[in-house]
Structure 1
Amino acid sequence: MAPFPWIISVDDHTVEPPHVWRDRLPSKYRDLGPRVVRAPLKDLTFVGGRFTPVMGDPGDPGPPADWWVYEDLRRPLTRLDTAVGYDRDEVRLEAITFEQMRPGSFSVPERLADMDLNHVQSALCFPTFPRFCGQTFTEAADRELGLLGVRAYNDWMVEEWCGPAAGRLIPLTLVPLWDAELAAAEVRRMAERGVRAVCFSEIPPRLGLPSVHSRDWDPFLAACAETGTVIAMHIGSSSSMPSTSADAPPAVGSALTFANCCFSLVDWLMSGVFDRFPTLRIMYAEGQIGWIPYILERADTVWRENRGWGGVAEKVLRPPSELFAEHVYGCFFDDPVGLRNLAAIGERNVLYETDYPHSDSTWPRSREVGEAQMGHLAPETVERIVRGNAIDLLQLTPEGLWAR
Structure 2
Amino acid sequence: NVALNAVAGRPKEEYGLEPQGLDEIRPGCWQVDERVKDMNAGGILGSMCFPSFPGFAGRLFATEDHEFSLALVQAYNDWHVEEWCGAYPARFIPMTLPVIWDPVACAAEIRRNAARGVHSLTFTENPAAMGYPSFHDFEHWKPMWDALVDTDTVLNVHIGSSGRLAITAPDAPMDVMITLQPMNIVQAAADLLWSRPIKEYPGLKIALSEGGTGWIPYFLERVDRTYEMHSTWTGQDFGGKLPSEVFREHFLTCFIADPVGVATRELIGVDNICWEADYPHSDSMWPGAPEQLHEVLTANQVPDDQINKMTYQNAMRWYHWDPFTHIGKDQATVGALRKAAEGHDVSIQALSKKEKTG
Report the Cα distance in structure 1 between the residues aligned to 2:104 and 2:241, rounded to whole angstroms.
Answer: 29
Other structure's SS at 1:284 match: strand
Within 5 Å, give how 1:278-297 maps onto structure 2: 278-297=202-221
Contact 1:331/1:351 (CA < 8 Å) preserved in 2? yes
Report the Cα distance in structure 2 between the residues aligned to 1:219 and 1:246, rounded to whole angstroms.
Answer: 40
Q: Report deviation, 1:389.
A: 0.4
Question: For residues 21-64 of structure 1, what are the alpha-carbon distances to aligned partners after superposition, in whole Å with 9 as ceiling and x for unaligned?
Answer: xxxxxxxxxxxxxxxxxxxxxxxxxxxxxxxxxxxxxxxxxxxx
Report the Cα distance in structure 1 between the residues aligned to 2:202 and 2:228, rounded to whole angstroms.
Answer: 21
Q: Which of 182, 193, 196 lines up with 1:272 in the alignment?
A: 196
Note if 1:385 corresponds to 2:310: yes
1:178 corresponding residue in structure 2: 101
Q: Which runs of 4+ in 1 moved over 3 A?
A: none
Q: Which has the higher strand share?
A: 1
Q: Which has the higher helix share?
A: 2
Within 5 Å, give how 1:5-404 maps onto structure 2: 76-78=1-3, 80-138=4-62, 140-215=63-138, 216-313=140-237, 318-375=241-298, 376-397=301-322, 399=324
Q: Report deviation, 1:77.
A: 4.5
Contact 2:49/2:94 (CA < 8 Å) preserved in 1? yes
Report the Cα distance in structure 1 between the residues aligned to 2:104 and 2:220, rounded to whole angstroms.
Answer: 32
Identical counterparts, % of pairs: 39
Decide whether aligned partners of structure 1 residues 111 and 257 sit closer, same or farther in structure 2, where only a CA change above 3 A counts. same
Report the Cα distance in structure 2 between the residues aligned to 1:189 and 1:154, rounded to whole angstroms.
Answer: 10
| Structure of higher RCO (CA pairs closer than 8 Å, 6+ residues apart) | 2
Contact 1:224/1:280 (CA < 8 Å) preserved in 2? yes
Report the Cα distance in structure 2 between the residues aligned to 1:180 and 1:204, rounded to whole angstroms.
Answer: 12
Contact 1:235/1:241 (CA < 8 Å) preserved in 2? no
What letter is aligned with 1:110? E
1:36 corresponding residue in structure 2: none
2:347 corresponding residue in structure 1: none
2:356 corresponding residue in structure 1: none
Contact 2:19/2:25 (CA < 8 Å) preserved in 1? no
Contact 1:201/1:234 (CA < 8 Å) preserved in 2? yes
Report the Cα distance in structure 2 between the residues aligned to 1:291 and 1:400, rounded to whole angstroms.
Answer: 36
Query: Scaled by the length of structure 2, what TM-score is found?
Result: 0.87
2:333 corresponding residue in structure 1: none
Aligned length in residues: 324
Question: For residues 354-373 of structure 1, what are the alpha-carbon distances to aligned partners after superposition, in whole Å with 9 as ceiling and x for unaligned?
Answer: 11111211110110121011
Contact 1:133/1:199 (CA < 8 Å) preserved in 2? yes
Other structure's SS at 1:231 match: strand
Contact 1:125/1:171 (CA < 8 Å) preserved in 2? yes
Contact 2:6/2:19 (CA < 8 Å) preserved in 1? no
What letter is aligned with 1:209? Y
What letter is aligned with 1:352? W
Q: Report deviation, 1:316.
A: 6.6
Other structure's SS at 1:257 match: helix
Q: Report deviation, 1:269.
A: 1.1
Contact 1:171/1:197 (CA < 8 Å) preserved in 2? yes
What letter is aligned with 1:155? D
Report the Cα distance in structure 2 between the residues aligned to 1:251 and 1:324, rounded to whole angstroms.
Answer: 31
Return 5+ residue gaps in structure 1 as ranges.
Answer: 1-75
Decide whether aligned partners of structure 1 residues 400 and 101 sit closer, same or farther in structure 2, where only a CA change above 3 A counts. farther
Report the Cα distance in structure 2 between the residues aligned to 1:273 and 1:174, rounded to whole angstroms.
Answer: 21
Query: Scaled by the length of structure 1, what TM-score is found?
Result: 0.77
Contact 2:57/2:161 (CA < 8 Å) preserved in 1? yes
Q: Report deviation, 1:132.
A: 1.2
1:52 corresponding residue in structure 2: none
What letter is aligned with 1:256? L
Contact 2:211/2:253 (CA < 8 Å) preserved in 1? yes
Decide whether aligned partners of structure 1 residues 95 and 104 sit closer, same or farther in structure 2, where only a CA change above 3 A counts. closer
What letter is aligned with 2:79? W
Decide whether aligned partners of structure 1 residues 373 and 93 sit closer, same or farther in structure 2, where only a CA change above 3 A counts. same
Report the Cα distance in structure 2 between the residues aligned to 1:91 and 1:370, rounded to whole angstroms.
Answer: 22
Q: Report deviation, 1:398.
A: 6.5
Task: Tell me which moved more, 284-293 or 316-325.
Answer: 316-325
Contact 1:275/1:317 (CA < 8 Å) preserved in 2? no
Task: Tell me which moved more, 148-157 or 93-102.
Answer: 93-102
